[in-house]
Amino acid sequence: MNRMPLLLTGIFLTFFSAWLGLVAMPYIHLGRFKPQVDDVTREETPPPFSGEALQGATIYAANGCIYCHSQQVRPLEAGADLERGWGARRTVARDYMRDKVAYFGTSRTGPDLSNIGARQPSAEWHYQHLYQPQVVSKGSIMPAFKFLFEKRRISGQPSADAIKMQPPDEAEPGWEIVPTREGKQLVAYLLSLKRSTYPLPEAPEETPAK
Ligand code: HEC
């Protein structure tokens, strides 16, 4: 008896059901989100990223920040993320609709960054932290990303972008430390991460019990 047609149908159905489950269904459920528009201000949430922040996301990927940082806040019943102050509510799929690639992350050697732009809104802090994490965070084990900065001789006026470091990280007299284009883009990205500062109907604010 020729079982070839049966075998081929079986193979087809196996791959087709995998495609349905892994490609088609997620696309139908998650592929067509629309932003929430405020009736009065017409403001859109989640807000769009600036071009600089979008570039910064690629720097985030290229430097392996994802190996130590997650970008997802778990609901109250699933963990202590809200108690740690990592967000005002859980993150949901729509929070990531503006991301080209969502950097959820699986490891938390460092804190979750879903909301770092709201938790730490100072660009200067981020620059100092990236240049030498231990300066602003005592005992930090985060590696320094000094190659996102340039040490250059001051010619004329010092640059407005120069970061202020203390000895021993300070630049020698007549020199200054300024972020490179990549450094600025990365910080623009970090400052734009404010995933649970805006309300979404599917994710109401949750307050951990004190
Ligand atoms: C080897 C692990 C590791 C890598 C890689 C890493 N970090 Fe960190 N990061 C940490 C740790 C640990 C902390 C907590 C101590 C501190 O604040 O420095 C931290 C803290 C931070 C904070 C402050 C968070 C807060 O809640 O105060 C930011 C922002 C940050 N990292 C950004 C980055 C970025 C951007 C990159 C990639 C360029 C990166 N990290 C790569 C381990 C890492």
Burial class (CB in 10 A: 0-12, 13-18, 19+), 71: buried
pLDDT tens digits, one per residue of 94-107: 999 999 999 999 99
Are 71 and 113 spatial neighbours (Cβ–Cβ below 8 Å)? yes
pLDDT tens digits, one per residue of 17-70: 999 999 999 999 888 899 999 899 999 999 999 999 999 999 999 999 999 999
Spatial distance between the Cα atoms of 168 and 180, rounded to a whole number of angstroms: 21
Q: Tokens for 136, please give them.
A: 């602003």
In the block, residue with structure tokens 């892994």: 22
Pocket test for ligand 1, best of 115, 131, 142 (most atoms within 8 A of CB): 142
In the block, residue with structure tokens 């020698």: 172
Question: pLDDT-based confidence at 209, cuts 50/70/90?
Answer: low
Spatial distance between the Cα atoms of 131 and 125, rounded to a whole number of angstroms: 10
Spatial distance between the Cα atoms of 117 and 189, rounded to a whole number of angstroms: 8
Buried (b) or exposed (e) across 128-157, using 16+ Cβ within 10 A?
bbbbbbeebeeeeebebbeebbeeeeeeee
Which atom belonging to ligand 1 lies closest to the Cα atom of 112? 26
Instruction: Give, using CA atoms, the residue closest to atom 31 of ligand 1.
Output: 110
Query: Nearest-CA neighbor of 129 among 139, 141, 137, 121?
Result: 137
How many A from CA of 104 to the centre of ligand 1? 15
Query: Nearest-CA neighbor of 112 among 83, 134, 144, 149?
Result: 83
pLDDT of the residue at 148: 98
pLDDT tens digits, one per residue of 116-155: 999 999 999 999 999 999 999 999 999 999 999 999 999 8
Question: pLDDT-based confidence at 210, cuts 50/70/90?
Answer: low
Pocket test for ligand 1, best of 69, 116, 190 (most atoms within 8 A of CB): 69
Query: Nearest-CA neighbor of 194 among 83, 79, 113, 125?
Result: 113
The mean pLDDT of the chain is 94
Spatial distance between the Cα atoms of 65 and 116, rounded to a whole number of angstroms: 13
Instruction: Give, using CA atoms, the residue closest to atom 36 of ligand 1.
Output: 65
CA count, 13 A, side-chain hemisphere, 102: 15
Beta-carbon count within 10 A of 175 CB: 13
